[in-house]
Structure 1
Amino acid sequence: MSTTNSSTGLSPFLLRLGYSPRIIPAILATPAEASVGEIDAADWLDTREKVVNDAKDALLHAKIVQAANVNSQRDPEPSFPVGSRVMLSTKHHRHTFKNRSDGRTAKFFARWDGPYVVKAAHPEKSAYTLDIPESSAMFPTFHTSLLKLYHPNDDSSFPHRSHLQPPPLTFDDGSQEYFIRDIIDEKRRGRGYRYLVRWKGYGPEHDSWLPGRELVGTDALDAWISSLDLDSLPNSSPAGR
């Protein structure tokens, strides 16, 4: 209580009671002093108010100095205009991804997902709202530290990096179907399951959740169920999916 604080320059005792404690016994002989009860109340209130104001000023100065020191080592915050495309960091989802199966390794999980279109900007909060698919359970607003600008592939410089997107199969009734590359995730929905499907020739930004009934009989679903090693999981069976 009597130790001087580095930010305020005052002791908590002085801030709380308006005076510093006397050392008992005194280190040096001092003249007799008036007791606390003999101190004029008005003088005590003035002194206490001055001490509190000095502490507030000292704390404000300390905050300004600390902010200046931190900001001097900080890069300028990136800005993403509405309509631009950004990549979203997946660092907060790696743990969930790994825990869904014993056969998964977090280091092989994609570090960035997207691109996503910026729907709204909140620069005063360092946050941006993205156009996230409705099938996702994620909240669509993210801090700038989780975003980076999307740079499309330069086909002239890197022609082999571009992904060829095959057209869908179109039937006589006008319906269309795409080829499934594989299933990369699943989640429980009611009594059934939904599966995250990656389409052949398309990137992660086109992944979509489909109910299990739409995937019955596909090689992708059979391969996914086989990879889960259901025999090692309690109360799990292919029929229950």
Structure 2
Amino acid sequence: MNSVNSSTGFSGFQLRSGFSPCIIPPLIPSLPSDSPPADFDAHGFLQQIQLDILEAQDSLLSAKISQACAHNRERRPNPDLKSGDKVLLRTLHRKNEYKRKGDKRAAK
């Protein structure tokens, strides 16, 4: 659950809650209970969460782009078809493609 995603660099828990759970005792002592509320900057905390989410989205987008580039590198060029050209169609499952079960059914 708390494993870091290689694409984003964040764990799912960290993106949802804004922090990673501590497994070992923290090295920095937490705020004392009698400290004033100004010591905890809620606005800064929320900005950090939003920044983490935006950074994760950027990482996912860059991974998506690099995967598309790697996939398209080995791709054949598109055939140069013009209006009137004859082509072969694969019609083996043509009748059953539009028949589905459920609400999205187009034919009986």
* TM-score, normalising length: structure 2: 0.71
Pairwise CA distance, 1:89: 1.9
Q: CA 1:9 to 1:29, structure 2 compared with 1: closer, same or farther past 3 Å? A: closer
Q: CA 1:12 to 1:79, structure 2 compared with 1: closer, same or farther past 3 Å? A: same
Q: Which runs of 4+ in 1 moved over 3 A?
A: none
In 1, Cα distance between the equivalents of 2:26 and 2:9? 26
Deviations 1:216-236 (A, max 9, x none): xxxxxxxxxxxxxxxxxxxxx
Percent of aligned pairs with the same amino acid: 38
**1:87 aligned residue:** 88
**1:52 aligned residue:** 53
- What SS does the corresponding residue of 1:13 show, helix, strand or coil? helix
Deviations 1:136-161 (A, max 9, x none): xx99xxxxxxxxxxxxxxxxxxxxxx
Q: CA 1:79 to 1:59, structure 2 compared with 1: closer, same or farther past 3 Å? A: same
- What SS does the corresponding residue of 1:88 show, helix, strand or coil? coil
- What SS does the corresponding residue of 2:88 show, helix, strand or coil? strand
In 2, Cα distance between the equivalents of 1:83 and 1:67? 32
**1:196 aligned residue:** none
In 1, Cα distance between the equivalents of 2:31 and 2:67? 41
Q: CA 1:60 to 1:77, structure 2 compared with 1: closer, same or farther past 3 Å? A: same
Task: Please give the residue correspondences for 1:8-87 in structure 2 after superposition, counting only pairs within 5 Å.
Answer: 8-23=8-23, 26=24, 30-34=27-31, 39-87=40-88
In 1, Cα distance between the equivalents of 2:83 and 2:31? 70
Equivalent position amino acid for 1:72 in 2 = R
Which structure would you say has the larger Rg? 1
* TM-score, normalising length: structure 1: 0.34
In 2, Cα distance between the equivalents of 1:65 and 1:18? 27
In 1, Cα distance between the equivalents of 2:86 and 2:43? 65
Pairwise CA distance, 1:29: 6.4
| Structure 1 gap segments, 5+ residues each | 97-137, 140-241
Equivalent position amino acid for 1:49 in 2 = Q
Q: Which has the higher helix share?
A: 2
Greater relative CO, 1 or 2 (CA 8 Å, sep 6+): 2
- What SS does the corresponding residue of 1:79 show, helix, strand or coil? coil
